[in-house]
């Protein structure tokens, strides 16, 4: 147990994130219904302008690191 297998750490984190997204979506559909899911996805839809995409990725990375 001297070394950390970073590949497994990253893959495990990605798998955990995917599972959480699936459960969050399923709970939203069960609680708010399909129309509530459409409304929430439309509200949270990121901007389609290309200028904000790098800022989004930088902030997401900083949030992930902290």
51-65 residue pLDDT tens = 777 777 788 878 877
SS3 content of the chain, % helix, strand, coil (to 5): 75, 0, 25
Q: Is this model's pTM higher than 0.75 or not?
A: no
How many helices (H) and strands (E) are present in the chain, helices listed first?
Answer: 2, 0
12-47 residue pLDDT tens = 988 998 898 888 888 877 887 878 777 877 777 766
């Amino acid at each position: 147990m001297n070394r950390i297998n970073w590949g497994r750490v990253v893959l495990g984190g990605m798998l955990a994130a995917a599972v959480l997204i699936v459960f969050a979506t399923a709970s939203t559909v069960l609680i708010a219904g399909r129309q509530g899911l459409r409304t929430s996805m439309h509200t949270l839809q990121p901007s389609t302008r290309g200028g904000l995409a790098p800022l989004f990725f930088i902030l997401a990375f900083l949030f992930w690191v902290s």
